[in-house]
């Protein structure tokens, strides 16, 4: 299929925007050894996206990217508002600084949910219907596009692929957590009362991340750059933003990029968020369980 100059211009601009925003902090810290503040980071990212938005009015070839840049502005703006202003309110500061797993996680998830709701409001204005930005379960038994190197075969349904990868991904996450630190049995037992909270926060966190950082980007990119490039852009964006996550560095980027690509693939093929949310939820249950265990002082 021949790629037109217009398609090339749109694709190149989208890649430059994604990489410029996602790599900014990494380059400043790792190359220039400059520890940029969160507030300044948001300001520079906003200027980058504003420049891209302005370019869509100057260069008619890329005008279709305006919703994409609009989403970026809404996301960065809501993050700035929530993570540099609202989180400074006494009610959130006391929660975030509290050593209790329940209290600190509640404050964190409420802040994340505010960002998600702002982004969802933008997508409602843009798309009018929630299914058009994957805010629906989707067809959980839809056909999965085959991927030989992942063992996804022709004519397989997502019902089977989803169940299989729920096991694979969960075992991988659990193995990593156990290698990072195996908690004593008595501490694990003490953490059992946290299980209901772990399940609630894992469900909420999975929804926040899948909707805010995957579903919305796919919704504004799929019809402009095609599903394969949309998935690659999503994978790059999601992966690079986990450079300072757990695990740290290139390994973290590669793991997050793969997960972003795979979960994004599930959304596009089922036209819904269920499998992406559910697979993410299972990983968060394990991660949050270990965080809850870690919040308990040995012998305390």
Sequence-distant (6+) residues with CB within 8 A of 78 are 114, 115, 118, 119
For residue 93, is it within any domain?
no
Instruction: Name the strand (E) or helix (H) holding 46.
Output: helix 38-58
Tens digit of each residue's pLDDT (9 = 90 or more) over 281-295: 999 999 999 989 888
Work out the widest C-alpha separation in the chain, in whole angstroms. Answer: 67
Tens digit of each residue's pLDDT (9 = 90 or more) over 239-254: 998 888 766 788 888 9
Q: How many domains does the chain have?
A: 1
The strand ranges marked E within 112-185 are: none
Please say if the pLDDT value at position 65 is more than 60. yes
For residue 207, is it within any domain?
yes
Please say if the pLDDT value at position 10 is more than 80. yes
Sequence-distant (6+) residues with CB within 8 A of 258 are 235, 239
For residue 107, is it within any domain?
no
Comparing CA positions, the residue from 179, 167, 198 lying closest to residue 289 is 198
The tokens for 152 are: 């996804």
Q: Which domain holds residue 168?
A: 131-294
For residue 106, is it within any domain?
no
For residue 188, is it within any domain?
yes
For residue 77, is it within any domain?
no
For residue 71, is it within any domain?
no
For residue 2, is it within any domain?
no
What letter would DSSP give residue 143? Answer: B
Calpha distance 287→259 (Å, rounded): 15
Tens digit of each residue's pLDDT (9 = 90 or more) over 214-229: 999 999 999 999 999 9
């Amino acid at each position: 299929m021949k790629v037109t100059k217009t398609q090339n211009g749109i694709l190149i601009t989208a890649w430059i925007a994604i990489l410029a925003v996602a790599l900014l902090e990494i380059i400043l810290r790792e190359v220039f050894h400059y520890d940029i503040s969160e507030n300044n980071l948001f300001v520079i990212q906003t200027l980058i996206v504003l420049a891209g938005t302005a370019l869509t009015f100057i260069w008619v070839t890329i005008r279709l990217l305006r919703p994409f840049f609009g989403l970026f502005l809404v996301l960065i703006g809501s993050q700035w508002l929530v993570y540099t202003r609202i989180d400074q309110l006494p009610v959130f500061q006391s929660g975030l600084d509290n050593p209790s797993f329940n209290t600190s996680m509640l404050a964190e998830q409420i802040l994340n949910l505010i960002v998600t709701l702002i982004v969802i409001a933008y997508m409602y204005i843009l798309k009018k219907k929630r299914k058009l930005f994957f805010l629906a379960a989707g067809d959980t038994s839809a056909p999965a596009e085959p991927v030989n190197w992942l063992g996804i075969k022709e004519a397989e349904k997502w019902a089977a692929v989803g169940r299989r990868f729920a096991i694979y991904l969960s075992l991988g996450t659990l193995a990593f957590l156990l290698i990072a630190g195996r908690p004593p049995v008595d501490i694990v037992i003490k953490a059992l009362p946290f299980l209901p909270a772990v399940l609630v926060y894992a469900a909420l966190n999975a929804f926040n991340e899948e909707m805010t950082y995957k579903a919305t980007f796919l919704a504004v990119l799929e019809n402009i750059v095609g599903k394969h490039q949309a998935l690659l852009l999503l994978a790059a964006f999601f992966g690079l933003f986990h450079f300072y996550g757990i695990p740290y560095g290139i390994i973290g980027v590669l793991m997050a990029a793969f997960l972003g690509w795979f979960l994004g693939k599930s959304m596009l093929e089922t036209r819904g968020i269920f499998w992406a949310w559910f697979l993410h939820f299972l990983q968060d249950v394990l991660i949050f369980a270990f965080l809850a265990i870690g919040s308990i002082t040995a012998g305390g």
